[in-house]
């Protein structure tokens, strides 16, 4: 239950930051925002401030069928505007039933009201693009702030190349497992992400380099591997071997890091946070490229992909490890959301930017019905993908 609560709180922060980017950019550009919502419809409740009476007014649920057309899931991502949205004289801040994301409903964002000055459709192309990329920008800024805060209080870092200048070591380096390859000796032995390597065979492991050298000289030998997991030591039996054809040395199939906890003075920590966020974002883009490339050429997934259940599990595990670990994981999720949203896929921010750019190239807007159809199909495919990945996560937890 605690894991679920923490995950929902983390998701709320990330979604609100992203949608606030769209919201503030739209408002500053003179656009009307109908609704700022957490989660996807149907709406549970909402609130707005009446510009005449200056009082807050509650909105309970969505309109009943037969009075006005209700704001539903498909309408949110690709439909036309409804009469229901015009019922309210100010922006409605809402809580919705499906807690998988959020939205900022801007007037004319789906192509309507293009002759009205407070409409998204009436704005110049560059203003539209600014509004669309504002959410991604906020996710990046949030990650930079979280990492900066983490570096102030102490953040896990790879110390394989030594301690950085001006850094204070709070916790000495430990050899931690960062990734476990599929169909590898480590996977077969039960090694998991986050395991701390204590010893291998007869040697106490002090560094990842030491472990790599030991494995190279003990190919095809059953070795006792002692790891620390959740405060408890576990003994696993691993047999190093050639994992892929063409390799010259046996290995376990794990990525290791000499992870220690370091901190910086606040004025350096802020800078370090944004630098770390930038390079992490680049690495995420590279990972997306490899993922898509391997799927296209038929090599399958290059690495495990997690859905909401898998991410919630990771968030829960990081929270147990400490607040600084939770900050780091949250920042990585924020950057992943930024990278994914900017991809030129219909229903995502990048897909909407793509249609604007296409319109500029052909010197006329893409017909509204085709754009709406593309966004609706894209959204449904993304939802199906989330369901499939979530099912895999659940099956993995059961096993």
Per residue in 342-358, pLDDT (tens digit) is 988 888 888 889 989 99
Report pLDDT for 138.
96
Bridge partners of 197, per DSSP, are 227
| Cβ atoms < 10 Å from Cβ of 22 | 27
With CA atoms as reference, report the closest residue to 182 among 255, 256, 236.
Answer: 255
Percent of residues, the chain, with pLDDT higher than 70: 81
The answer to whether residue 397 scores a pLDDT higher than 60 is no
Cα–Cα distance measured from residue 241 to residue 267, given in angstroms and rounded to the nearest whole number: 47
Q: How far is CA 286 from CA 246, 279, 289, in A?
A: 24, 11, 5
Report pLDDT for 374.
84
Side-chain half-sphere of 8: how many Cα atoms within 13 Å?
11
Residue-wise pLDDT tens digits, 213-233: 888 888 888 889 999 887 788
Average pLDDT, the chain: 81
The answer to whether residue 274 scores a pLDDT higher than 90 is yes
Residue-wise pLDDT tens digits, 371-389: 878 878 877 877 776 666 5
Cα–Cα distance measured from residue 199 to residue 197, given in angstroms and rounded to the nearest whole number: 6
Residue-wise pLDDT tens digits, 85-141: 567 888 999 988 877 667 888 888 776 667 788 888 888 889 999 999 999 999 999
Token readout for 113 is 């009201």
**Res. 142 pLDDT band, cuts 50 70 90:** very high
Report pLDDT for 63.
59
Report pLDDT for 182.
80
Q: How far is CA 200 from the centre of its chain?
A: 35
Q: How far is CA 219 from CA 204, 213, 255, 256, in A?
A: 18, 11, 18, 18
Cα–Cα distance measured from residue 118 to residue 97, given in angstroms and rounded to the nearest whole number: 29
> What sign for the dihedral angle of Cα 135, 141, 143, 149?
negative
With CA atoms as reference, report the closest residue to 7 among 352, 345, 384, 317.
Answer: 317
Degrees, nearest 5: CA angle 335-336-337: 90
Report pLDDT for 179.
82
Domains and CATH numbers, the chain: 1-31+123-155+264-399 (no CATH), 33-106 (no CATH), 168-262 (2.30.42.10)
Cα–Cα distance measured from residue 347 to residue 375, given in angstroms and rounded to the nearest whole number: 4
Cα–Cα distance measured from residue 154 to residue 264, given in angstroms and rounded to the nearest whole number: 8
Top-confidence residue, 365 or 57: 57
What's the whole-model pTM score?
A: 0.74
Rg (CA), the chain: 25
Buried b (16+ CB within 10 A) or exposed e, 345-358: bbbbbbbbbbbbee
Average pLDDT over residues 285-311: 62
């Amino acid at each position: 239950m605690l894991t679920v609560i923490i995950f929902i709180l983390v998701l709320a922060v990330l979604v609100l930051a992203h949608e606030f980017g769209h919201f503030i950019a739209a408002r500053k550009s003179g656009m009307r925002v109908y609704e700022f919502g957490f989660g996807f419809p149907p709406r549970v409740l909402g609130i707005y401030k009446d510009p005449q009476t200056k009082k807050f007014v509650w909105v309970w649920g969505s309109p009943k069928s037969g009075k006005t057309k209700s704001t539903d899931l498909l309408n949110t991502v690709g439909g036309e505007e409804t009469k229901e949205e015009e019922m309210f004289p100010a922006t409605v801040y809402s809580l919705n039933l499906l807690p998988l994301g959020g939205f900022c409903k801007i007037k004319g964002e789906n192509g309507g009201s293009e002759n009205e000055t407070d409409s998204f459709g009436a704005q110049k192309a560059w203003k539209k693009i600014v509004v669309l990329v504002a959410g991604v920008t906020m996710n990046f800024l949030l990650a930079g702030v979280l990492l900066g805060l983490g570096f102030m209080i102490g953040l896990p870092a790879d110390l394989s190349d030594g301690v950085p200048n001006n850094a204070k070591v709070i916790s000495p380096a430990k050899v931690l497992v960062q990734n476990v390859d599929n169909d590898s000796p480590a996977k077969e032995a039960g090694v998991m992400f986050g395991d701390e390597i204590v010893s291998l065979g007869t040697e106490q492991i002090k560094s990842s380099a030491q472990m790599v050298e030991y494995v190279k000289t003990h190919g095809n030998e059953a070795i006792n591997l002692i790891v620390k997991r959740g405060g408890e030591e576990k003994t696993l039996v691993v047999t190093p071997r050639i994992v892929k054809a063409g390799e010259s040395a046996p290995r376990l199939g794990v990525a290791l890091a000499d992870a220690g906890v370091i901190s910086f003075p606040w004025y350096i920590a802020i800078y370090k946070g944004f630098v770390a966020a930038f390079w992490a974002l680049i690495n995420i883009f590279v990972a997306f490229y490899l993922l898509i490339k391997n799927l296209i050429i038929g090599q399958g997934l290059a690495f495990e992909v997690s859905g909401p259940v898998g991410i919630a599990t990771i968030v829960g595990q990081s929270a147990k490890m400490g607040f600084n670990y939770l900050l780091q994981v949250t920042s990585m999720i924020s950057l992943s959301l930024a990278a994914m949203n900017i991809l030129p896929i219909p229903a995502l921010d990048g897909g909407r930017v793509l249609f604007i750019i296409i319109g500029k190239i052909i010197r006329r807007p893409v017909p509204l019905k085709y754009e709406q159809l593309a966004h609706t199909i894209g959204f449904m495919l993304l939802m199906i993908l989330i369901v499939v990945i979530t099912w895999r996560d659940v099956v993995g937890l059961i096993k």
